Structure formats: structure tokens, C-alpha cells
Structure 1
Amino acid sequence: MPRTTIQHSALPFRSAFPYLCFLALIFYVNSVERALLSPLLVSIQEEFHFSYTLTTSLLVIRSLGFSLSLFANSFLATHFTHRRIITASIFFVGASFTLLSTTTTYLQLQLGLLFFGLSAGLYFPSGMAMLASLVKKEDISKAFSIHELAPNLGFITAPFIVEIMLSFTDWRGTMRYMGIAAMLLAILFALTSKGGYTHGAPPRFSTVKRILTKRNTWIFFTLVGIALTLETAPYYVLPLFLVDQQNMTSAEANNLLAMSRLATPLMALSAGFISTITGVKPLLFSGLLLSAVSLALMATAHGTLLSAAIIAQPLFPAILFPVIFMVFSDFFPPEEQSLVLAITMPFVGFIGSGIMPNFLGYCGDIFSFETGFGILSALTIASIAALFITPASD
């Protein structure tokens, strides 16, 4: 029996603006609850007496769930509207945080974070589809700019939220209250939001083999993979590094972590303008090189210079992302782009937000976090080679 879908025309930007802000708020809650795990890892490690490797392996489990659901969205969207998927995503993100607040064993933490990742990963593809359904084509770039403020604000505010919450509760209470807030927001979203009434089309596997054998796919995979690693991996381990190995208090570490992200929204917004002056390849080269330098300083410096390197390090990935996706739009025709993202992004997310933070934690146990930052600096230098591979023209 054919499915009927209620059609809703796009709104003028001014009319759509409140609904865009509400969708950005949903994305912010999704992002901030992922970012909260970084400053909370210190408290979790202290209570359970985990090693750095075991503590950061929790990020691997969360990223595994996130990557699986990011890919599964393509199939779920053929049966459910994007609006329903978004509502379910943010509701179960909140439910999983509430459950995590009751955990008493490592296995329970793993299962709770797997559930959290599976819930959170459903959002992004459906969020993009809902955003596109709200506004007219000529307003998409403005809508996207509003939406993309959410993850940057999530990185900035997460350490402050933790410090405020820890002043009157513990890490369990922080997760419980944030989880309840997310569930209430999901209910409000279901009742008042507009857009997202469409279904998605399933991925066409007939083109997967051809995409995987294209040189451009692997250039994009390398660039976006190292950019995501640079953005997330240091962020997740810095509180452990600063508190345990640099003798900072939790409040000092969280303040420095938040300060390091304050300028990233401006850097991301300015990247498009800078690239028109410098060109794409020089800007990518400079961003990767400066990322490597800042990581090398994090591996060797102390005191004020170390703090300066920590503040500088996230600025360069913020420039890289918009430019990499400009390259992406040139590399692949529109009809292939969604499938390329469905193939690459789950693996990129798993490596950048899971495997690499865990690797840095392993280095913290066996050698030192500084060793891990040095190795990541060397990998960043190596990734520059992707800029000198000639893109395929087909």
C-alpha cells in the first residue's frame, strides 16, 4: 500500500527563523551532551579507578553506536519521517543519559554509552533534511550557518555546564538532569516544530563499489578524517591530561578547555572568505601545518606556552572543515554526495571521536599524553600528502 506523506512548502526565512532556532537548539543539546563526556571523564575515572586506556575506551563504544546509527538513518528514514526520527533521537539521548547516571559497573557504562551513541547518531542526516524542508533554496546557506553554531557552542559551554552542575551535584546528577531536560525538549519539539514531514530514500548500493575505488573518495576521507580527529580527540582527553599530569584543578582545566573553543565559531565563519583570498589548497596546507605545530607544542611545552598551544590548537580544524566541504562539493556530483557521506562519515566519526582519543589515553598509560600529542602531530604532517594527489576528473 503506498505511503502518503503530508507536504509542506518552504517558509520565507523570517517565518522559518524561530523553527530554525528550535532545530539548532535540538542540535545543540545533541552536541553538548556528547561534549559533556570530556570534562566528566575525570570524575568517572576517579570513582571507578579506571586507567586512561579504559576510561577513553568508553569513547570508542559511544562512537561505535554513533557511527552505526549515522549509517542506519538512511534505512530508517524510508519508514519514518525525519521529524519523528529527530524527536526519537533527542528523547533517547536524554533517556540514555538518565540511565548512565545509575550505572555501577564498566559493562553498564559501556551499554549506556552504546545506547547514547545509537540515539545521538540518528540526528544529523534527518536534521539536514528537516532544515532543507523549512527554507527556500536561496536561504539554505543562512539556515546552515545558524545550525552549525550548535556544535561549536556545545564545545564551548560543556565545561562551564559541568562546573556549574558539579557545584551542587556529582557527575551522576549532571547526567540525570541533562537527560531529563533533553526528554522534555523532545516532547516540546514534537508538539510545536514544523518541517521534516518527508521520508528519505535508501542508499543505492550499486554505486558503492565505484565510489570506493575513486581517488577523490580517499582524498576526502583523509582530509575530513584528520580534521575531525584534530577537532575532537585532544578535546576529550585534555581534562585528564591537565588534571592528572599538569596538576590543574578541575575548574582550571575546564575553564582552559572552554577558552580554547571561544574563537572557533568565528574561525569557521571566516574560512570561506579567507579561501577566496588564499585559495583552497594553501589554506588547507596552512591549517594542517599549524595544527601540527600546535600539537607539537602541546607535546613539549609547559606553563604559559602550553596554555597558549591548547588555546590555539582548535582554531585550525575550525578553518579546515568548511574548506574541506567546499572541496567535497567539487569532487562529487550532487547525486553521489549523500551516498559518499553515508559511506565515509561513520568510519571517520568512529576513528576521529573514538579510536584516536582512546589511542591518546593508551599513550597516557604507557608513555605520556605528550607522546600521544606528538604522534598526532606527525600524522597531521603526513596527511598533508593528500593535498598533492591530483584529484580525479571523472
Structure 2
Amino acid sequence: MRENKLHSISDILRVVFPLVLVIFFTFLARVIFSPLLVPMEVDLHLSHTSAGSLFFFISLGYAPTMLCSGFVSGRITHYGAILLSATICGLALLLISFNSRLVGLQFGMFILGVGAGLYFPSGMATLTHLVEKEHWGKAIAFHEAGPNLGFVLAPIVAELGLSFSSWRGIVVSLGFACLVVAAIFALFGTGGRFLGEPPRFANVKLVCSRPSFWVIAIMLSFVAAASMGVYSILPVYLISERNMDPTLVNTVIGLSRLSGFFSLFFAGWLADRFGVELVMGCIYLASGFLTMLLGFASNGWLIFTVFLQPMVATSFFPVSVLALANTESSHTRDVAISLMVPFVYLFAGGIVPASMSAVGEYYKFDIGLMLMGVFILLSLLPLMFLRVRLS
């Protein structure tokens, strides 16, 4: 049965909040390992390359699970898939916390990716099913505040936790928190009690035949790399290469993500006001320039760039999701997300951090950051020749 649509802002916030809670904790479960990477390297005697591989294994579990998530939600509904996502993430964190070998950690990260991969298609299908289309920009921006809040709190949680516990204690606590959130969603979650759409060949062919799908996928991949990929290696870069104090680094990175928290809502408003294409293009160019600046800026300008870069990069996500929602029908929207996001995350959350960690070990991290910025700007050139409407 179709749920009643929500109209007022208070109704939208009320129904989206349980989803925000789930995506916040399942996202925090993945990004918490960025500020914990340095103590993990010391405790487990890991190289930069080995530590960076942990992010790759998360994405290796995340990508295929999201591709197949329609089969899961097609059996247990979107509500059941969201509940299962939070539960698996909690259990995976507990498994990671009790492992001391690299192979065991990599396996735990893979399971964590599997759990996280179940959420997004079902979360977005639930949200867009409940909220009227004219409010999608605001609702999606509020929903995306969950991941951005995870970015904000991860270094702060890590810094506070390490002052009285080890990295293992932090991971255990977060694992139990995910299980509690699963119980809360089971009791108070609204919507999503309808079956998902498995990625049938006809739907996949329809989605992949649209140029708009590929334009959004390419742009989202590179901006996600500027956000998530850079975030993953930024603490190691600032501490080991720029010789900054670890406490200062975690504090600065945590506070820097607050700017992105507010820019999410501003970007959603701008997209509703001025159109998706213009806002996406401006954010994309700025993300490329600021990512390059992270590599060669002096320490004074570097702190400023660390604050500004995530504010710009993270604001791209609600706009890109809005573009995808505008260009896909209700029957193919979750299929499009299931196809796009896995490859975006595999690239931005797995390949880019692992590659930049290898560059940092054998060369310097700043070279990787400058190259990332150049690639973002160059990728815009072929897209300029495509005449695609995204709104």
C-alpha cells in the first residue's frame, strides 16, 4: 500500500529523521577508520599501502551488494533492507574490533561494506515515495546531512575516544550503537513497507541508455573522490607529511565538515531556485580547484583550504541525487541508484584512497592531491559537449 504523502516541513523532518539516523551510523561506521588509521598503523605495524587497502575492501563489499540490493528489498521490502543494513554494520564492527591480523581486518571491512551497501537504494526509494516532488530538494538535503554529520563527528569521536581507550574500544562502541539504531528503526521507522525493484535487464538497459545517467555518474565519481577519497587519507597526509599535531588535525578536519553540513541545505535551495545544471557545474569546477590547492598550499592557506574544500564538495551530493530523481521514473529510480552508487563508491571510497596511499608511500601525498584536482577539471571537458537536461 502506498503511504500518504507528506507536505509540511515538520512532517518531512519527522519521517526522514529515522532514515537520517540509520545513514548517519552506517556511514560513520565506514569513515571512522580515517582518523583511526594512524593509531591502527602503529598498533598493527601496517604500511600506508596496507592501511589504505582497508578502504578498498569496504568498497569491494559495498559495490556488488548495492548492485544486488533490489533482489533483497524485492523479498523483504525496503523497510526490511534498511533494518538489515544497520544490523550487519553493527556486527561487522564487532568482528573488526576483535581482529589483529590484516586478513581478518580486510574480511571485516568487506562485511561492513556489504551491510552499508544495502541501505542507500532502499533509503532513497522510501524517501521519494513519502515526500512530494516539490519538496525533494529539501528532503534529500536533510537526508544527506546524515553522512555529512558522520564526516564532522568521526575525527572528534576518534580524538575523544583515543584519550581514554584504544581504536578497538571506539569500534566496539560504534558497533553496539549501530545495533541500537537498528532496534530504533524497527520500532519507529516510517515508510518503505513495499517491495523493491530488482535490476531486471529491461530496467538496466533503460537506465543505461540515458546520457543523463552517465553524465551524473562521471561527475559524482570525481566529486565523491574529492570528498570521501581525500577525507580518507587527509589525517595521514597532514600528520606524516605536513608534520601537524594529531589533536589539531582531528579537530580541524572535524570542524571543517561543519561547513559542508550547512552548505548541503544551501545547495538544495539553490538547485530548486536556479536549476540543477548550473549549480552542479559551479560546484564541480570549485571542487577541482580546491582539491589541487590542498596539495600545494602553504600551512596557513592549507588550514583555510581544509575548511573550504569539503563545504564545496559535499554540497554536490544532494544536487546530484536531485538530478537523478528528476531524470528517472519512480520505477527505475532505485535501479539507477543501485547501478550508479556502487561504481562511484568503488572508485571514490576504494580505488582513490588505496591509490593515494600508495602514492604517499612511494612518492608524496601532495602529488596525489594535485593529480586528483587535475583529473576532476579535465573530466569536465568531454561532458561540456553533451547536451543533457538534468532537471
TM-score (norm 1): 0.90
Answering whether residue 21 of structure 2 is matched by residue 40 of structure 1, we say no
Larger radius of gyration: 1
**What residue number does 2:92 align with?**
96
What is the CA-CA distance between 1:353 and the residue it aligns to?
0.8
CA RMSD of aligned residues (A): 2.5
CA distance in 2, matches of 1:23, 1:93: 15
Q: Taking every aligned residue pair, what percent have the same amino acid on both sides?
A: 29
Using the alignment, how far apart are the partners of 1:184 and 1:326 within structure 2?
30
Contact 1:20 1:134 in 2 (8 A): no
1:120-131 to structure 2, matched below 5 A, reads: 120-131=116-127
Deviations 1:216-245 (A, max 9, x none): 333222111111111101101011111111
The equivalent of 2:355 in structure 1 is 359
**CA 1:278–1:191: 2 relative to 1, 3 Å:** closer
**Partner of residue 259 from structure 1, selected from 230, 255, 258:** 255
CA contact (8 A) 1:149 1:265 kept: yes
Number of corresponding residues = 388
Q: Which residue of 2 aligns with 1:249?
A: 245
Q: Contact 1:331–1:391 at 8 Å: present in 2 too? A: no
Which residue does 1:64 correspond to in 2? 60
Structure 1 residues 274, 202: closer, same or farther in 2, change over 3 A?
A: closer
Equivalent residue in structure 1 for 2:78, among 79, 82, 86: 82
1:368 and 2:373 correspond: no
Task: Tell me, in whole angstroms, the C-alpha distance in 1 between the residues paired with 2:268 and 2:20.
Answer: 21
- Equivalent of 1:349, from 323, 345, 348? 345
Give the equivalent residue in structure 2 for 1:218. 214
Moved more, 204-213 or 122-131: 204-213
Rate the CA distance shift 1:197–1:334 in 2: closer, same or farther, 3 A: closer
- Matched-pair contact (CA < 8 Å) for 1:83–1:197: yes
* Distance (Å, rounded) in 2 between the aligned partners of 1:242 and 1:376: 17
Match of 1:388 in 2: 384
| Shift in Å, 1:346 | 1.0
Q: 1:119 aligns with which of 73, 93, 115?
A: 115
How much does 1:137 deviate? 6.0
What's the offset of the Cα at 1:91?
1.5
Paired amino acid for 1:268: L
Runs (5+) with no aligned partner, structure 1: 1-5
Shift of 1:286: 3.3
Q: Work out the CA distance in 1 between the residues paired with 2:336 and 2:240.
A: 41
Work out whether 1:24 is the aligned partner of 2:25: no
Q: Distance in 2 between matches of 1:39 and 1:191?
A: 32
- The aligned counterpart of 1:3 is none
Q: CA deviation at 1:140?
A: 4.9
CA distance in 2, matches of 1:275, 1:141: 7
**Shift of residue 278 of structure 1?**
6.6
Measure, in 2, the Cα distance between the counterparts of 1:388 and 1:113.
Answer: 38
- Cα offset for 1:319? 3.3
The 1:386–1:274 alpha-carbon spacing in structure 2 relative to 1, beyond 3 Å, is: farther
Alignment of 1:317-336 (within 5 A): 317-329=313-325, 331-333=327-329, 335-336=331-332
Which deviates further from its counterpart, 115-124 or 13-22?
13-22
* 1:39-71 deviation digits (Å, cap 9, x = unpaired): 011111111222211111110100111112212
Q: Give, in angstroms, the shift of residue 167 of structure 1.
A: 1.2
Q: CA 1:142–1:321 in structure 2 vs 1: closer, same or farther (change >3 Å)?
A: closer
Q: Secondary structure at the match of 1:195?
A: coil
Maintained 8 Å contact 2:154/2:254 = yes
1:379 paired with 2:375, answer: yes
In 1: Cα distance, 2:229 partner to 2:4 partner? 41
Q: Secondary structure at the match of 1:324?
A: helix
Correspondent of 2:161 among 161, 165, 174: 165
**1:214–1:392 contact (8 Å) kept in structure 2:** no
Aligned with residue 306 of structure 1, among 299, 302, 306: 302
